[in-house]
Amino acid sequence: MSLAALRKRVTGQCVLLDTSVLIAYLNATDPVHAPATMLIDELLRAGFMRAVVSAVSVMELLVVPYRVSERDAQAIHDFITNWPNLTVGTIDLYVAKEAAQLRARHSLKAPDALIVATGRIARVDQILTNDRAWKAKLASQKSAFAITLLSDFLDH
């Protein structure tokens, strides 16, 4: 599939951006950097889609920058808090309860369950990730939301 197909798939949607998508966006050497950049720079910034990011993803994104410098961590914080059409979903009682159900039913790791639960509580239309295990483990969740792998949209 192509970037044009990905653009068509997410336009008008509310999506959950998994940590892997944000890492790919921030790392130009990541194999899915191009689709992640198109999503965030073109579609999200312009309002063609809306996105939710879990507070867990924010934490995961900040670890390496904090190891490097406070300035690098601040740059990530500024990106997350100031990017148009991007909302950080908090971890509250309802997300925790949903995450527990996801862990029990699908054997997700706790951080992954919290990220997916954030999307479920926010009622996203789909989850954008590059984690193939999520697609396999959450196959029965298709009615609630689609799981889209960025790697499926690379031109081969």
Give the model confidence (pLDDT) of 86-126 as tens digits.
Answer: 999 999 999 999 999 999 999 999 999 999 999 999 999 99
Residue 42, in any domain of the structure: yes
What average pLDDT does the segment 58-79 reach?
A: 96
Query: Is 55 within the bounds of a domain?
Result: yes
CA atoms within 13 A on the CB side of 70: 0
Distance CA 94, CA 90 (A): 10
| Token output for 14 | 């509310």
In one-letter notation, the amino acid at residue 129 is T
CATH number at residue 118: 3.40.50.1010
Q: How many structural domains compose the chain?
A: 1
Q: How long, in residues, is the chain?
A: 156
* Structural domain contains residue 52: yes
Domain membership of residue 43 (yes or no) is: yes
Q: In the predicted model, is pLDDT for residue 144 greater than 90?
A: no
Residue 156 has pLDDT above 60, yes or no: no
Q: What domain range includes position 19?
A: 3-151
Q: Are 99 and 116 in contact (CB under 8 A)?
A: yes
Would 156 be classed as within a structural domain? no
Mean pLDDT computed over 7-35: 95
